């Protein structure tokens, strides 16, 4: 297996981008990444696009070919592949691109992710997102994506004494980080009281415990390490890529206070990188709900099971704390255009490792991790990146 580097990154602003189409945001992110990598179209061997549900959000399937077309890659007949894994679509697209380069199949590939969610109403969008759960055994009986995570939150509170305030602090912290990110959907700090008094979505989760519906796109360029310095002075190495699956429905699992797929994907990634959780300086984790970040920092080994809420409340996951979590603002503040989320996490990790994150820069950043989740933990993808 060859070593693989990220040599280019690009992203649109995330938010309600009503004046831009799906193809426009995909093109903007892809071209920005290619420009950042100092490439021309002739240098690119393949394209991978993460997308969950363009067929329902914008009535457009075949989106990989669409992005290739409007990015100018179709002229060279570049193979373009769509990857779908619900919320983990972007992370899994990155893994596919990584394996293509590591195997020697391709030398340079573009990995993008995009979703256009705000062209439909909130009710329809929530229905589309709930399709990532088990239709036969969960959704048919009225379970929604927020209610499934509310059950996880209640069980975590019961088993470990996690409090409503500790979950709310995840949102407060991520909005603080998001206020430092010019491409975040929400660039304003919020108070703990604001989160606690927000309208209830599914007890105990309120509106400010949930990531927003977002439009946006992100892209990265991957290259075989031996060729990377031809294109960039600061190649960032992908140290490891781990993936794991679990049951689609929560009721089939032995426990719902953690995601086994995250733990296994992380174990595989750490083994490949020959590192441990203690070696990671910062991480982008999948905080589609505030409880999700608490589960993530425990399942990844940053804190013992049951202590994630307390660690968050104590400021250990803030920029400048023990380990900075979601310096981009996370899904909660940066935004969550589902297919783009996993790729956007990598854009933030690379930005940090390059030392280009400005006011949200992690001091002495050498190793970063990204965790991307599909459904209620049925798919998990973990990547570890480091300074080359």
**Cβ pair 117, 57 in contact under 8 A:** yes
Tell me the helices (H) and strands (E) count for the chain, helix number first.
14, 12
- The DSSP element (H or E) to which 46 belongs, if any, is strand 46-50
Query: How many other CB atoms sit within 10 Å of the CB of residue 376?
Result: 28
> Per residue of the chain (388 residues), what is the pLDDT tens digit?
999 999 999 999 999 999 999 999 999 999 999 999 999 878 999 999 999 999 999 999 999 999 999 888 888 899 999 999 999 999 999 999 999 999 999 999 999 999 999 999 988 998 999 999 999 999 999 999 999 999 999 999 999 999 999 999 999 999 999 999 999 999 999 999 999 999 999 999 999 999 999 999 999 999 999 999 999 988 999 999 999 999 999 999 999 999 999 999 999 999 999 999 999 999 999 999 999 999 999 999 999 999 999 999 999 999 999 999 999 999 999 999 999 999 999 999 999 999 999 999 999 999 999 999 999 999 999 999 999 8
Query: How many other CB atoms sit within 10 Å of the CB of residue 140?
Result: 9
**Cβ pair 281, 364 in contact under 8 A:** yes
Rounded Cα distance, 242 and 228, in Å: 23
CATH class for the domain made up of 4-121+214-236: alpha beta
C-alpha distances (whole Å) from 216 to each of 39, 95, 183, 221, 353 are: 23, 20, 10, 18, 23
**Cβ pair 221, 110 in contact under 8 A:** yes
Query: How many other CB atoms sit within 10 Å of the CB of residue 320?
Result: 8
Rounded Cα distance, 11 and 4, in Å: 21
Q: What SS3 state is found at 117?
A: coil
**pLDDT (tens digit per residue) in 5-46:** 999 999 999 999 999 999 999 999 999 999 999 998 789 999
- Terminal Cα-to-Cα distance of the chain (whole angstroms): 17
Query: What's this model's pTM, rounded to 2 decimal places?
Result: 0.97
- Tell me whether domains 4-121+214-236 and 131-212+239-387 share a fold: yes
CATH class for the domain made up of 131-212+239-387: alpha beta
Domain boundaries of the chain, sorted by first residue: 4-121+214-236, 131-212+239-387
For residues 191-200, one letter each, b for 16 or more C-beta atoms within 10 angstroms of the residue's C-beta and e for the rest, the string is eeebbbebee
**Cβ pair 165, 196 in contact under 8 A:** yes
204 upstream amide cis, omega within 30 of 0: yes
**Cβ pair 64, 82 in contact under 8 A:** yes
**pLDDT (tens digit per residue) in 107-156:** 999 999 999 999 999 889 989 999 999 999 999 999 999 999 999 999 99
**Cβ pair 284, 368 in contact under 8 A:** yes
C-alpha distances (whole Å) from 196 to each of 32, 201, 305 are: 39, 12, 24
């Amino acid at each position: 297996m060859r070593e693989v580097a990220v040599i280019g990154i690009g992203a649109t602003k995330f938010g309600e981008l009503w004046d831009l189409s799906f193809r426009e945001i995909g093109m903007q992110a892809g071209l920005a990444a290619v420009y950042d990598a100092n490439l021309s179209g002739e240098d690119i061997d393949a394209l991978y696009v993460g997308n969950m549900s363009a067929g329902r959000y914008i009535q457009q399937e075949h989106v990989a070919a669409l992005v290739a077309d409007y990015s100018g890659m179709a002229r060279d007949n570049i193979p373009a592949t769509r990857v779908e894994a619900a919320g983990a679509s972007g992370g899994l697209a990155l893994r596919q691109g990584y394996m293509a380069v590591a195997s020697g199949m391709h030398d340079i590939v573009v990995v993008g992710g995009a979703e256009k969610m705000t062209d439909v109403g909130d009710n329809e969008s929530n229905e589309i997102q709930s399709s990532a759960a088990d239709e036969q055994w969960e959704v048919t009986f009225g379970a929604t994506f927020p209610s499934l995570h509310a059950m996880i939150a209640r069980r975590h509170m019961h088993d470990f004494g996690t409090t409503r305030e500790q979950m709310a602090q995840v949102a407060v912290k991520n909005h603080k980080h998001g206020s430092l990110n010019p491409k975040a959907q929400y660039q304003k700090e919020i108070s703990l009281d604001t989160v606690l008094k927000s309208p209830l979505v599914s007890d105990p989760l309120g509106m400010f415990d949930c990531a927003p519906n977002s439009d946006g796109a992100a892209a990265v360029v991957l290259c075989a390490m031996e060729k990377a310095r031809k294109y960039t002075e600061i190649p960032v190495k992908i140290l490891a890529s781990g993936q794991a699956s679990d049951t689609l429905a929560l009721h089939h699992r032995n426990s719902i206070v953690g995601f086994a797929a995250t733990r296994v994907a992380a174990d595989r990634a750490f083994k490949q990188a020959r590192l441990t959780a203690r070696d990671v300086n910062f991480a982008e984790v999948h905080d589609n709900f505030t409880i999700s970040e608490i589960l993530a920092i425990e399942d990844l080994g940053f804190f013992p099971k049951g202590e994630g809420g307390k660690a968050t409340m104590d400021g250990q996951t803030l920029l400048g704390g023990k380990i900075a979590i979601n310096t981009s603002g996370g899904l909660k503040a940066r935004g969550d255009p589902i297919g783009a989320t996993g790729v956007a996490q990598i854009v933030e990790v690379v930005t940090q490792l390059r030392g280009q994150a400005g006011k949200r820069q992690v001091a002495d950043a050498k190793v970063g991790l990204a965790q991307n989740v599909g459904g209620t933990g049925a798919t998990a993808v973990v990547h570890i990146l480091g300074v080359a």
